[in-house]
């Protein structure tokens, strides 16, 4: 099992993503707004989605 070490891995993840070596886009199941956060948790609990990223707008 893999573990993340924040001090080591935190700076590496953005660089890997920018280089196209960390396929984050394939791992996300959508971008619900904050107003839909409860529905997102329900969908995850039901197994409909794996990862969702909340979209905060200014």
- For position 19, what pLDDT does the model report? 95
Gap between the Cα atoms of 40 and 49, Å rounded: 8
Q: What is the mean pLDDT of residues 10-18?
A: 89
Q: Check: CB of residue 28 under 8 Å from CB of residue 52.
A: yes
Model's pTM, two decimal places? 0.45
* Nearest in space to 55 (alpha carbons), one of 32, 37, 35: 32
- For position 14, what pLDDT does the model report? 87
What are 18-49's pLDDT values in tens digits? Answer: 999 988 777 777 777 788 878 878 887 888 87
**For residue 58, pLDDT beyond 60:** no
């Amino acid at each position: 099992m893999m573990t993340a070490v924040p001090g080591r891995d935190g700076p590496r993840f953005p660089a890997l993503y920018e280089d196209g070596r960390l396929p984050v886009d394939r791992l996300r199941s959508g971008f619900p707004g904050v107003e839909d956060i409860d529905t997102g948790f329900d969908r995850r609990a039901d197994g409909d989605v794996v990862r969702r990223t909340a979209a905060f707008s200014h």
